Amino acid sequence: MIPQKKNMLIMWFLCTKKGNDLKIAVDVGNGAAGAIIDDIFGELGLNYTVYQNAPDGFNINENCGSTSPQTLSKIVKDLVRWGCGQMSFYRSLR
């Protein structure tokens, strides 16, 4: 991500204080987003867990990510069923 875009996103979020009460599940699809997700979500102080963040150069979106949103959907539904939060938000990143 271009540094100024990252900084703009962070400043907007900090100014609006949106999302601080969410528990966020993020599927990075074993892709490039995994390398920067902590920089962005961590700096925003969000309560998040990253899934599918073990890229090997060949497994991008393999049974995960934008081509398989059902994988993250199942994770979130299981977490809700186990009492680990409400299903309020999930996003698949490419």
Segment 34-88, tens digit of pLDDT: 999 998 888 878 888 899 999 999 999 999 998 999 998 888 888 777 766 554 4
Provide the residue range defining the domain that includes 42: 3-92
Residue whose C-alpha is closest to residue 48's, from 7, 13, 16: 13
Q: 79: domain CATH number?
A: 3.40.120.10
Cα–Cα distance, 35 to 41 (Å, whole number)? 12
The pTM of this model reads 0.67
| CB hemisphere CA count around 68 (13 angstroms) | 16
Pair type for strands 23-27 and 90-92: parallel
pLDDT value at 90 more than 80: no
Domain count across the chain: 1
